[in-house]
Structure 1
Amino acid sequence: MGKRQRRRERQRSGGTGKQQRTPVVVRFPSLGTPLVRVEIDGDAPPDVRETCLAYWEFDEAGTWARPVSDIGSAKAVCRTVQAASTASLLTVVCPGCAGPVTVSTRSEMAASGYWRAGGLPATVTPGRAPCEDCRAAADTVRREEEALAEELRRQAERRRADNIVLWLDAHRDDPAPTETPSLQAALVLLSAAETMERTADGTFGPLSALSSPLTGSESGDADAIGELYRKGWIAPAPPVAAESLTYEDDDTVSGFYPDELTWRPAHALGENALDAREAAITRLTPHLLRDIADVRAHLADLDAGLLTAYLSGLLTRQYGEAPVPEHRLTDLHAAAREALDDGFSLGQLIAIAWSAASGAVSWGQRTPGLKPGSVSAAAVTNFGRGIGYAKDRPATEYDIPGWLPRPAVRATALSFLEQYGDGADPVGSVLSL
C-alpha cells in the first residue's frame, strides 16, 4: 500500500484503528511487466471501483485506455478517483526513501515526466523529485533549521547590543591625546567643532549623512576620522547601529565604518561633550599656529582643487563637452596652484576659467573633426594663457557657483587664517570658530 493510501486509510478510520477491507489492487498493463499498481479503497462501492479501474487502465505507457469524457463528467470522475484510489509507479522510486512514486490523477502522472511512450522504465529507476512524504519531511527540517537560525540571530543581536555598550563605555577610560593629528585631520576636528557649536550638540556625524565631504572627498573624510580616533582625539557616541561595526567570532566589537558613526571629542578632554570641544580647540590651536604656513598651503591646494572641479564641471554642465582629460588634470591643478601662490584669488581664477572654457568651445565649434576631449584640453591650455594675460591687467573676480561643493575644512582654514594670519594672540579667540 502506498503512503498516500495509508494516510487515506487512517483518515477514513478517524485514527480509531477500525478494521478496513483489504484494498483492491490492480496492475497495469495487464499483459507483460506491470508498470503501475492501482490500489482502490476496499470499502468503495462497485461503481466507484469501476470508475477507478476505467480511469487508470492502459495497455501502453503514454496512452490511456479511454478518455475521461467516456467515463463520465471530468470533475466528478477526478474527484471520485482522488478520493478512492492511488496509483504507484512500480519502477520509479523516490530518490529519498526509495518508495514507489505515487500519483492520484492523470495530471500528476503526466507531471511526473514518465507518462509517454517508453517513458516508464522497465527496471527500478530513481524518480526526478522526492515523494510527497519526503518533501514534507524536508520542509519540516527546513522550518526547524530556519527557526534555529532565527533564534541564533536574535541571540547574536543581543550579544552584540551588550558588547556595543561595553565598547562605548570603554572609551571613557582612554587617556588624553598626546599625538598631534595631521593638518587635514586637525582641520576636520575644528570644522566638526564649529558644527557642534552651531547646533549646540556635543556630537557630529555620521559623515555618510553630510551633503558633501568635509575634506572634499569621502576617502579623505574617512582617513581623517580614522586618524583622530587612533590618536585619541575623538570617541564614538551613541546611538550606534549594529551594522556600523564589525565583530569577532564571539560578537565582540573588532572595528567600525568611520563614515557611519556619530562622534564626540574624547572623554579625556571633558566628560561634557561641549566642554571637550573647547578643550580640543584650545589644544589644537598652538600646533596649527606653529604650522600656519602649512595651513596656507593646504588652503591653496583646496582652492586649486576647486578650480579644477569648476572648469571640468563648467565644460560638462553648461557646454555638454567632455570633462577635462585625465592627463591634463595635473597641469590644470598645477597652473591654478601657482597662480594662487602668485596672489590670485579663487574668484579671479574662476573668472579666467570661465573665459578659457568659452574660448575653447567657440574654437571647437569652428573646427570640425576634433577628437573627443580636444575642446576640454584646449580649455586647460587657454586657462594657463589667461593667467599670463591677467598678470599685466586687473583681473575680474567671479563668485564660486552654488553647484560647486566646497569642503567644510576650507571655511575652517579661512577662518583660522583670518584670526591668526597676522600673528594675533591665540588665547581664547579660536573658541569663536
Structure 2
Amino acid sequence: MGKRQRRRERTSRNPKQQSAIPPTPQQPQHNDSITYEVDRVPVLRVEFRDGISPDNRTTCSRYWAVDSAGAWKEHTTAIGAGRDAQAMTHFLNRHSTAFLLTEPCVECKKPLVARNRAAVIKLAGNKFARHRRATTWHTCPSCEENAKGQASREVQNAVNDFFAQQQVGAQAAPKTLITLPVFEDDAFEPEGSVFAADGDAAIRTTKNLVVAAALALYASSARSTYVPALTTIASTDGAPWGGRGAWGDLSTNGYLGWFGTTNDDLEALSALHRAGFISPHRSTPGQAFYLDNGRLSIPVDLAVWQLTLSLDDSLMLIDSDLRLLGNAMVSYCDRSLDHPLHYVLVELEAKTVIAYINHLLVNRYLYPQVPHVRLSELTALVERALHEYEYTRGQLVAFAWRAVDTVAAWKERNHLDPRQASSAVVTTLANKIEAARSKQQHIPEYDLPSWHIDPPALEAAHRMAALLWPKRYPTNETSAHGRQ
C-alpha cells in the first residue's frame, strides 16, 4: 500500500482533520449585462434576468441604449410595440434592472435603481448631467424602509416612556379651567353681533367649559374615565347626527365630535389638555404619535383622552368653575340672555335646527342642502330668532318644517330647479318668522324626529344653564325655556 492510499484512508476515517482552505466569498456576477458610458465615464449598467428571451433582451437593450453624449438612441414609441408607459415600465422591471453608476445611495453607497427613463432624468439629470438634477441626494428604497422602521421604533419608545411616566407620577390636578382676567376691562361686550365674534374670550372660555362637561358626562354614562377619539364619535355619512347630509358644511372634516364643529372641538380639547383636565389614554393608536423636533406629539382629533381626575372631582371642578363664571359676569349681564353660556346654547341649538332643515331637504324631498353662500344668512336668522325673539328650539323646528314644506310645494307648482328650492328656504323661513311676530301668532313646539341626536355639548350646556338659572332652564328639556 502506497503513501497516497494510506493518506486517503486516514482522511476518510477522520474527515475533521482534513485541512481545507475556506472559499473566499464572491459577489454574484451578472454575465448578461450592458454598461453605457458618457464621455468615457460609466453611467448606466443594465442587468438582464436569467432566462430572458432574445426578443425581450433586444427590447430592453433598445430602451436603455445611450449614445456617447448621454442621449437616448431611440424614441420609446419605436420600441414599446404598442405598450403604454405603465405597461412598458412593468415589462422592463420584469426582465431587467438599470443601475445608475454615478448616483449612489447616500446611506449604503450602492447605485440607485431606475425603473424607467423618467426616473433616470429625475435622479441623474437630462443626458446624465449632474448639474441638471432635480435634487442633489437620494436614498434607495431599502434604506428608506430602514429609516422608517428606526423612526417608528423611536416614536414607540417615546410613547412607552410617556405612559410609564404618566402612570408613575400623577399629573398635577387642575384647580380651574377658566381664566377670569378675560372678563375684566370690558373684555366682554354683549352689545352688537356677538355671534360674529366667535373669538371673544368669554365665549371661547365658555365653550371650553361646556366641552369639558360633555366629556365628563360621557365618561359618567360609560362608567369610565376615558373618552373616545374625536374622529370615532360620529360621522356625517350616517346616523345618528341628523342623518346623511344633514349637517353639511357645519363639519369640515366629516365628523362632528362634541360641539358639532371641528374647529371648536379642536380648540376646546387643546385648551383642556393644556389645563391638565385631560391627557392621552393608553389605548390611543401608536401610529397616531409622531416626533416633532424630538418632542412627542399627537393630533388632537386622533387622541383617545382620559380625565386626569376622578369623575366626581371632574364634575365638582366644572360646577365650581361654572358658578365662578356666573359670579364674574354679574356686572356685565343684567339678564341671563346676556350671559356667554346663553350664547353658546343659542349656537348649539341653531346648529341642530339647521341640521334638521338640511335633513328634510336631502332625505325627504331629495333636494340639495342649503347653499353654502346662504348658510351664514340662515345661521344668523336662526340665532336671532332664538336670542332676540326668544323663540324656543321647538318653535324653530315648527317654523323650519313649514318653510321647507312651503318651498317644496312652490317648486313643484312652478317646475323649478331643486337648487332654487333649497336656496328659497332661507327667505321663506325669514318671512314666516316675521309674519308670526307681526301678528303675534302662537307658535306650537315640535319635537325633533327620533333619528335626530343632539351633540353631547348641548345636553351639557342645558345642565349647566339649569344650575345658573333653574327657572328659565328647567332640567326637563321638553319644557319651554322661551316665550311662545
TM-score, scaled relative to structure 1 = 0.62
Task: Tell me the distance in 1 between the aligned counterparts of 2:45 and 2:386.
Answer: 86
In the alignment, what sits opposite 1:191? 214
Instruction: Give the Cα–Cα distance (whole angstroms) in 2 for the partners of residues 279 and 337 of structure 1.
Output: 31
Unmatched tracts of structure 1, length 5 or more: 1-14, 18-85, 425-433
* Structure 2 Cα separation of the partners of residues 114 and 345 of structure 1: 76
1:295-314 alignment runs, 5 A limit: 295-314=341-360
Q: Please list the CA deviations of residues 360-390 of structure 1 after superposition, one character each: whole Å capped at 9, or x if unmatched.
A: 121122224x466322232222211222333
Is 2:209–2:318's contact at 8 Å kept on the other side of the alignment?
no
Match of 2:430 among 384, 408, 428: 384
Structure ranking higher in helix proportion: 1
Does 2:395 correspond to 1:395? no
Q: Distance in 2 between matches of 1:121 and 1:191?
A: 68
User: Hey, what does 1:218 align to over in structure 2?
Assistant: 262
1:412 paired residue among 445, 460, 470: 460
| % same residue | 19
**Structure 1 range deviating more: 149-158 or 339-348:** 149-158
CA positional deviation for 1:223:
1.2
Indicate how the Cα distance of structure 1 residues 263 and 161 shifts in structure 2: closer, same or farther if over 3 A, else same: closer
Aligned AA (1:111): R
Distance in structure 2 (CA, Å) of the matches to 1:275 and 1:397? 36
1:286 counterpart = 2:284 = no
Tell me the CA shift for residue 157 of structure 1. 4.8
* CA deviation after TM superposition for structure 1 residue 259, in Å: 1.7
Distance 1:388 1:106, change over 3 A: closer
Q: Distance in 1 between matches of 2:408 and 2:374?
A: 17
Q: Is the 8 A contact 2:173 2:277 kept in 1?
A: no
* Cα RMSD after superposing both structures: 4.5
Match of 2:392 in 1: 345
1:274 aligns with 2:290: no
Letter of the 1:315 counterpart: L
Residue segments in structure 2 that go unaligned for 5+ positions in a row: 1-20, 24-29, 74-91, 101-109, 114-138, 180-204, 235-255, 330-335, 473-484
Question: What SS class does the counterpart of residue 425 from structure 2 fall into?
Answer: helix
**Pairwise CA distance, 1:197:** 1.5
1:257 aligned onto 2:299:
yes
1:23-68 alpha-carbon deviations (Å, 9 max, x no partner): xxxxxxxxxxxxxxxxxxxxxxxxxxxxxxxxxxxxxxxxxxxxxx
What is the TM-score when the length of structure 2 is the normalising length? 0.56
Maintained 8 Å contact 1:98/1:126: no
What's the CA shift string for 1:220-276, capped at 9, x where partnerless?
2111100111233322232333322231354x41x221122222333xxx4xx3344
- Match of 2:390, SS state, is coil
Report SS of the residue matched to 1:247: strand
Closer, same or farther: CA 306–286 of 1 in aligned 2, 3 Å: same
Q: Which residue of 2 is the match for residue 367 of structure 1?
A: 414
Q: In structure 2, what is the Cα distance between the partners aligned to 1:403 and 1:142?
A: 54
The alignment of Structure 1 onto Structure 2 pairs a total of residues equal to 329
Partner residue in 1 for 2:170: 172
Match of 1:239 in 2: 283
Larger radius of gyration: 1
Cα gap change, 1:365 to 1:163, in 2 (>3 Å): same
Give me the whole-angstrom Cα distance separating, in 2, the residues matched to 1:107 and 1:419. Answer: 85
